[in-house]
Amino acid sequence: MSTTARAHPNIALIKYWGKAPGEGNIPATPSLSITLDSLVTETHVTTGPSQDQLYFDDEPVADRKVLDWLEALRQRLDIPPLEIRTGNNFPTAAGLASSASGFAALIMAIDAHCGLHLDQATLSDLARRASGSAARSMLGGFVAIREPDWVAEPVLGPEAWPMKTVIAVTTTARKSVPSSQGMAISAATSPYYPAWVESTRADFTDALAAVNARDFQALADLAEFSCLKMHGLMIGSRPGLIYWNAATLSCLHAVRNLRQDGVDVFFTVDAGPQVKAVCPPEAERDVSAALASVPGVQEIVVTGLGPGARVVDP
Ligand code: PMV
């Protein structure tokens, strides 16, 4: 008997880049995200023969991050050896937050399969230990994570303030520096790191207020500020972390041009070269058309706001 769970990636509007010292994979800064709908990770969990076995798209994989996280879970929970089969309907590890939806789906499936009955805060805490952003994929719509508990907090449900995200895929290659490694490099070497940590708290508070007030312009301003500040921090690390390609930058200009023409839209970019343009539903056609015509854009993916991680019938 296998148990199936689904979860969606999320994208941060107020970014997390850097970890607090100590255990628990606690972020150094609060963050605010939206959970997407049409990008999906689906994970099936069965009780395995003798040791954990992972399959990605039916291919066996030895993913150290997943295996170590499972071992850590077993120190506090009764979990038998598992056979885990997972797959995404979008490119993996290219800055589309596959680890967020991956770990959110996996903890949901394990909880149900093993009859653990963990509460939402504990599930989100366990997901965060694998990947900081995974905690946010536990919930749908606009989601926050902040001190003191660092677990996912609902801000607005997926229907409360409809929003589209137009993703311009500029490459499907895997990213060069994984986020945990990149964060450690920035914290250790960038002279901007203390200012980033300090200033992100105010951005988070202001963005939360903008979302609660449904103030698109204020949110647009804060989200672009947080995104560019994070990339400034990455670029100012040693060695500099350059996640963009030429098409990424062209897309940012295209979004700014749209805004100058009166279209409500803002951009955000994570630790990869894809550009995510967030807009109200009525602007989606213009935004998609503009980004599709940028040289180097390989594919346009349009998503709305989606639900949190959940168990589903296979
Ligand atoms: O949760 P991680 O380790 O995949 O790191 C996420 C980092 C960013 O995507 C760049 C920002 C964020 O808050 O999601």
Residue 29 CA to ligand 1 centre (angstroms): 11
- Please tell me the distance from the alpha carbon of residue 190 to that of residue 168, in angstroms, as a whole number: 29
What is the DSSP track for 218-269? HHHHHHHHHHHHHHHHHHTSSS------HHHHHHHHHHHHHHHTT---EEE-
Residues with Cβ within 6 A of ligand 1? 12, 15-17, 31, 99, 131-133, 179-180, 270-271
Contacts of 79 (CB under 8 A, 6+ apart): 70, 73, 110, 114, 116
Please write the tens of the pLDDT for every residue from 61-80: 999 999 999 999 999 999 99
For ligand 1, the distance from its centroid to the CA atom of residue 1, given in whole angstroms, is 34
Q: Using the mean position of ligand 1's atoms as its centre, give its distance from the Cα of residue 76 in Å.
A: 26
What is the tens place of the pLDDT at every residue in 287-313? Answer: 999 999 999 999 999 999 999 999 998
CA distance 212 to 274: 27
Per-residue confidence (pLDDT) for residue 97, from 0 to 100 = 67
Quick one: which atom of ligand 1 is closest to the CA of 11?
14
pLDDT at 89: 87
Instruction: Identify the pLDDT of residue 92.
Output: 61
- Are the CB atoms for 164 and 60 separated by under 8 Å? no
- Residue pair 169/298 in contact (Cβ under 8 Å)? The answer is yes
Give the distance (Å) from ligand 1 centre to CA of residue 131: 8
Checking if the pLDDT of 191 tops 50, the result is: yes
Structure tokens at 172: 């499907």
Q: What is the pLDDT of residue 173?
A: 79
Instruction: Report how far ligand 1's centroid is from the alpha carbon of 262 (Å).
Output: 30
Ligand 1 atom closest to the Cα of residue 10 is 14
For a mutational test of ligand 1's pocket, the pick from 124, 142, 179, i.e. the residue with the most ligand atoms closer than 8 A to its C-beta, is: 179
**Angle separating helix axes 120-130 and 98-113, nearest 10 degrees:** 130
Task: Provide the b/e sequence for 153-188 (b: ≥16 CB within 10 Å).
Answer: bebbebeebebbbbbbbbbeeebebebeebbebbbe
pLDDT digits (tens, 9 = 90+) for 94-111: 557 678 999 999 999 999
Mean pLDDT of 272-279: 96
H-run or E-run covering 288: helix 284-292
> Model confidence at 93, in pLDDT bands (50, 70, 90)?
very low
Q: pTM of this prediction?
A: 0.96
